A and B are shown apart, each in its own frame.
Chain A
Amino acid sequence: MIKIAHIERTPASLDPPDPTSAPGHLGPSSQVRADEIAIRWRPSRHARRLLTLAAGGLLLAVVFRRPELAGLAAPALLLLGAGRATRGGLPGRLTVRVGLTSTRIYEGEPAAVDVVVSGAGETAGVAAEAGVPGTLGAAGGSSGARFDARWALEPGRGVEPGSATAVNGQAARFTFAIERWGKRKLGTVTLTLHDHWRLAEGRVALALPAIDCYPAPALQRTEVVLSKLPNRLGEHRARVPGDGTEFTGVREYVPGDRQRAINWAASTRLGRLQVNTFAAERSQDVVLLVDATSDVGEPGRSALDLGLRGASGAARAYLAARDRVGVISYQWGGAHWLAPSLGRRQFYRIVDALLQSDTGFARGAVFSRLPRAALPPGALVVAFSPLLDGRFVESLRDMRERGFSLIVVDVLNAEPPRRRAFADSAARRIWTLEQDAIRFSLRELGVPVVAWDGVTPLDLPLAPYTRRPLVTRR
């Protein structure tokens, strides 16, 4: 088993994968360097079977004195002899190169791993088309023997192969997709080499590198904007006058106003100089709060899956609007957090922080005592949670009472199973009432709770709160 020494990463796109792109157009693969590997040649199963036939025929011919049985062994002996004669040209070392089209992908996005084998000392060429019968020249050998290569992919857990898992040829491309987010080991690729007569076999297993699969961001085009925004330049219209582009009114000119802002029509009508006023454009701080404690529901559509996809979509939408976005991942009373920041790189930092939600108990900060950097005052907090953990619900109430603007996206899409027994149906009704009471109590505190099924865009449940600025009353 060899490990890939180094991977040179190429930047992945911020945008989700284009669903219309064909699987074949995956682009070039990342450059990966691999060491030369030693090949240990041994007789193949085919050689052992031929030897059994030859030895059995000859032995029986000797024991039973029947020459036709010796003739039965002749074809097998001929093949074995030919294999032995050409065995001297087998190469002892080969160069194997592994490349990935992307080291970061989204759920369901097709990706590929390219594998190429060449003789030791030869330059590894670009991956050839899969399925082309390949031959290898003997490295340093004098006989120029030819070899057949066969690649077999054993995908890792959660990796769905998109093409055949076994390919003949010097180069091969295996496409795959990962249906659920997380850090995934791609698996192993086994290279099996056969000599010209298929009697000698060399086998090498290569461990493929791990790949980060990001949750597929939910679709969100509109943003919830607070009525009170901090004094920081952005793209949201604020209620205070400033240097934005949105006209808000006309006022009397005071010394210091720009001449360009003079409204001559109003000035002529009123007889005094009037200037146009514009709304200021501000940005806001957005903190995405993901409840990673309760992962209930069908794998792939569980509460945690929906929460991460919603948080990714929201992060992308607010970062595109030039807001500062941070993330807090809540797990069993602890929390991992990432301070709000701007830019495309922040999106990857957020998603990397979300990927850590899969690791169980969070040994980071205590959730009830998060620093100001994690939860800046005046920030909009968008929480993605099934509201099953009482401590988390209490924390939300506490945040609301401290004056934070809060929106809860309810991602609970599972229920207790329906059973006929009276006790089970009563327990189910009680559970339902309890969940309704939790949501009612949050709404009473002024925290909007919107349900999201994970399929529709996030714009739909958030529509009542994106039409006008969100006002938070203490």
Chain B
Amino acid sequence: MTAIDDAAAAAPGAAATARGSLLSVAGPRLAAVLLGAACVAWSAAPPGHGGWPEVALIVAIIAVTAGGLRLALADVPEPDDAYLLSGWMRSWLNFLALLRTLAWEEIAVAAVLWLQVQHPGRPWPTAALGAGLTAYLLITHIAETGADPARMLRRHAKLLAIGACLLALAAGFAMIPAATPGAGASLLRVLAAAAVIAAAALVIPA
């Protein structure tokens, strides 16, 4: 929940200020859910029939929904003590704990990637999906931490612009038909593997 200025709320125009504050709280949460749903729909279309694609689609929908619920219910407090709670209350608390424990966004990302892989090579839609997933993760972080969206996006603007260029480059590179599997494809695989190792090394604490 972002800060609400009490003094401003007491001044005239409090209704407009309160509405603006509500929007600043609910806006990122709603945007995260919408982006997640858009990514799922983008990767699922055209829908496959049965099998792993259907499972992945269901998992993706559940994960995005659960992630949205987690953001919506982030401000719901838990009771001070757990004595003599009714069955309904205990079920509700277990549901909240489930929402807050599992990594729903990671599950959603994995499911969406798997859905995307089910389709034949689509470079530009894949690039758009990459942008959508990155935006989904950024907005989710803004919503759960209450960070100032404008300030945060301003900081990330350059890197995001470079990332968008790389997305476009990769999509363009993917459109070049490969003649035969050869040294080029192998080199790409090696580079990709090296990048995974480098990414892990970047994040894992020393």
Contacts and interface: CB of A to CB of B under 8 A. Distances in A.
Interface centre among A46, A48, A57 (most CB of B within 10 A): A57
**Chain B interface, >50% SS class:** helix
Given A75-B167, A80-B202, A84-B203, A48 B134 contact: no
Interface centre among A60, A61, A196 (most CB of B within 10 A): A61
A70 B3 contact: no
A72 B155 contact: no
Interface in A187-204: 192, 194, 196-199
Given A72-B113, A76-B134, A168-B3, 8 more contacts: A42-B205, A45-B103, A52-B106, A53-B137, A57-B130, A78-B162, A79-B163, A166-B2
B174 interface: yes
A173 to B, nearest CB: 10
A173 B171 CA distance: 50
B6 A196 contact: no
A203 to B, nearest CB: 12
A58 interface: yes
Nearest to A131: B3
Contacts of B164: 75
A23 B6 contact: yes
Interface residues of A, number: 68
Interface in B149-206: 151-152, 155-156, 159-160, 162-164, 166-167, 169-171, 173-174, 181, 185, 188-189, 191-193, 195-196, 198-200, 202-205
A131 B160 contact: no
Interface stretch (B12-20, B48-56, B86-94, B120-128): B120-128
B82 interface: no
B145 A53 contact: no
Interface residues of B, number: 70
Contact of B146 (A83, A130, A150): A150
A164 interface: yes
A53 B7 CA distance: 42
A109 B105 CA distance: 43
B137 A54 contact: no
B6 A162 contact: yes
Contact of B196 (A54, A82, A157): A54
Contact of B3 (A57, A58, A167, A198): A167
27 contacts: A24-B7, A44-B141, A49-B103, A53-B113, A53-B137, A55-B196, A61-B188, A67-B170, A67-B174, A68-B121, A69-B116, A70-B195, A71-B169, A73-B195, A74-B130, A74-B166, A74-B167, A75-B130, A75-B163, A78-B163, A81-B202, A131-B3, A162-B6, A164-B2, A166-B3, A168-B146, A198-B147
